[in-house]
């Protein structure tokens, strides 16, 4: 029997739907295949995580009311993650998490703490020296989301370990795809998410501002081929593990195919030859990816 939703959290459902429609359109499209209650859980999770990102990134002056409030709300979430304790009236983000775990006791709260670690590290400025640094970052900001979603979708008995591995892999694949899609945009903001080790392996200098060996001006084709291969390997693990889910297999498959199509667009664009250019998958190719996902589900 499904437990009733906390009325305070239920009141956030319209905002949750608007937020996921605006910010995560590909996944919003995929989520339409979910049962309504499960879709609402996913939308609320997305709203809470999106708000956490905004709280961590708050640009209000230090000591201002807004900054102090954000810090207190984040601290309350960490206290709950670490101890299971809620002191006083929780902020709306914590209220969502508490209610989701009440309804789904298997929700991995450690993933929420790791997500916060990733957001705070991102705010400080990415330091991706090794491949392991990038792998950790991809887990913190996206693999954690995969794990949380898998719990809400439900996992077949005895499949918890396999589902967890697949959720981590699929989340990481999507984040690696984001990084490859946004290289020039991130460079313009002084950020490099690809590891320095990966850049050096293909003769690019992560520290150079310009020049023939810099990430900004150099030949990225070998770099993109290597990183796309890593992302594709993660997609294979993630997609293969979809069968362990009780609900939402079609939705997750659709989201994975739509995101993976960005990699194919990067290839069609010449592995970074066209820049600054953000790879965009056209409607026809999105429709084809959607069809492939639906047929193979």
CATH number of 106-297: 1.10.600.10
Least confident of 120-129, 251-260, 273-282: 273-282
What tokens appear for 92 in the block? 């709306």
pLDDT in tens, 112-125: 999 999 988 887 78
* Helix H or strand E segment including 99: helix 92-103
pLDDT in tens, 175-198: 999 999 999 999 888 889 999 999
Where are the CATH 1.10.600.10 domain residues in the chain?
Answer: 106-297
Q: pLDDT averaged over the chain?
A: 87
What phi, psi does 110 have (nearest 5°)? -60, -25
Confidence of residue 290 (pLDDT cuts 50, 70, 90): very low
Whether residue 94 is predicted with pLDDT greater than 70 in this model: the reply is: yes
pLDDT in tens, 7-17: 999 999 999 99
pLDDT score for 286: 47
The mean pLDDT value for 159-168 works out to 97
Q: Which of 10, 203, 181 is nearest to 92 (CA)?
A: 10
What are the CA-CA distances from residue 249 to residues 17, 277, 279 (Å)?
Answer: 20, 33, 27
Return all residues near 40 (Cβ < 8 A) that are at least 6 apart: 5, 13, 16
Whether residue 132 is predicted with pLDDT greater than 70 in this model: the reply is: yes
pLDDT score for 267: 94
CB 141 within 8 A of CB 122: yes
pLDDT score for 3: 84
pLDDT: which is higher, 254 or 123: 254
Instruction: Give the number of residues written for the chain.
Output: 297
């Amino acid at each position: 029997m499904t437990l009733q939703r906390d009325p305070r959290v239920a009141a956030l459902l319209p905002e949750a739907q608007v937020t996921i429609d605006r910010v995560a359109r590909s996944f919003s499209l995929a989520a339409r295949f979910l049962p309504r209650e499960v879709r609402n859980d996913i939308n609320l999770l997305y709203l809470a995580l999106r708000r956490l990102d905004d709280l961590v990134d708050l640009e209000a002056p230090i000591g201002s009311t807004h900054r102090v409030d954000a810090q207190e709300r984040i601290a309350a979430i960490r206290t709950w993650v670490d101890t299971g304790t809620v002191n006083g009236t929780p902020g709306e983000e914590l209220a969502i998490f508490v209610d989701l775990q009440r309804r789904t006791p298997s929700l991995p709260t450690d993933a929420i703490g790791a997500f916060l670690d990733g957001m705070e590290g991102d705010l400080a400025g990415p330091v991706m020296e090794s491949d392991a640094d990038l792998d950790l970052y991809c887990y913190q900001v996206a693999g954690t989301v995969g794990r949380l979603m898998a719990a809400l979708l439900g996992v077949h008995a005895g499949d918890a370990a396999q589902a967890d591995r697949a959720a981590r892999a699929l989340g990481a694949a999507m984040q690696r795809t984001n990084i490859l899609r946004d290289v020039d945009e991130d460079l313009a903001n002084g950020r490099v998410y690809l590891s320095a080790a990966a850049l050096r392996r293909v003769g690019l200098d992560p520290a150079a501002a310009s020049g023939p060996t810099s990430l900004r001006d150099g030949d990225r084709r070998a770099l993109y081929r290597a990183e796309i291969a890593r992302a594709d390997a993660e997609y294979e693990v993630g997609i293969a593990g979809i069968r362990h889910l009780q609900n939402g297999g079609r939705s997750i498959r659709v989201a994975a195919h739509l995101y993976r199509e960005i990699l194919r667009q990067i290839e069609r664009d010449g592995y970074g030859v066209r820049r600054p250019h953000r790879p965009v998958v056209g409607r026809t190719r999105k429709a084809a990816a959607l069809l492939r996902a639906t047929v193979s589900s």
